[in-house]
Chain A
Amino acid sequence: GESVGLHLPTLSVQEGDNSIINCAYSNSASDYFIWYKQESGKGPQFIIDIRSNMDKRQGQRVTVLLNKTVKHLSLQIAATQPGDSAVYFCAESLDGGSYIPTFGRGTSLIVHP
């Protein structure tokens, strides 16, 4: 589906700080969630995913938290680096569907050296 919005939300952080990017998803039946990173002029790149039977999953420098009660997903990036500057998208999908995720509107992360 299409994300709607005229301007992307922006998060500005200093290099070395921790970043938290939030996403509110729409369908309470969704049970699979993905975070993508899109650098300028490139295609989205898979970062991390989580299924609804979990509330936390950790990767390298990234952690995804899932709160099904309030339909909220967050991506935490530890010790943010300039190379983390990008647009971050969350996506949701549900069992019994066609495995086509619904993408959120995206958040632009700007890391200042």
Chain B
Amino acid sequence: SQTIHQWPATLVQPVGSPLSLECTVEGTSNPNLYWYRQAAGRGLQLLFYSVGIGQISSEVSQNLSASRPQDRQFILSSKKLLLSDSGFYLCAWNLGASRLQETQYFGPGTRLLVL
């Protein structure tokens, strides 16, 4: 069966520091990968998605970037964190090769607090 991991689970970082959040998927090949941010009490904002190694699509203009160095690894980064980067970051995957494979499955999330 497929599993998705995110780490760290919680992170407290000072403003201006760098960020690296990691997401890995097990049990499948060539997944589509997604990064979402969720502010407290709000819905899901899509940040980036990737359909393959080295392929990144950005949905919003922001202080963050994403990379996909391996098939089942997705990384969210920042060179200098802002207070507004605080939130709950979720990684998700699907196969997306057909209409029957489009359901997204989410990781446990990383809670980021920028002080």
Contacts and interface: CB of A to CB of B under 8 A. Distances in A.
A93 B102 contact: yes
B49 interface: yes
A42 B108 contact: yes
B106 interface: yes
Nearest to A43: B106
A43 B104 contact: no
9 contacts: A3-B45, A5-B42, A7-B41, A8-B41, A8-B42, A36-B106, A43-B90, A98-B49, A106-B42
Interface string A25-55: 0000000101010000111111001000000
A49 B106 CA distance: 15
Contacts, number: 67
10 pairs of A and B residues whose beta carbons are closest in the complex: A3-B43, A43-B106, A99-B102, A2-B45, A99-B96, A103-B44, A44-B106, A43-B109, A105-B43, A103-B43
Interface residues of A, number: 30
Given A32-B102, A49-B103, A99-B102, A3 B94 contact: no
Interface of B: 6, 32, 34, 41-46, 49, 90, 92, 94, 96, 99, 101-109, 111
Secondary structure of the A contact surface, majority rule: loop
A70 interface: no
B108 A89 contact: no
Contacts of A3: 42-45
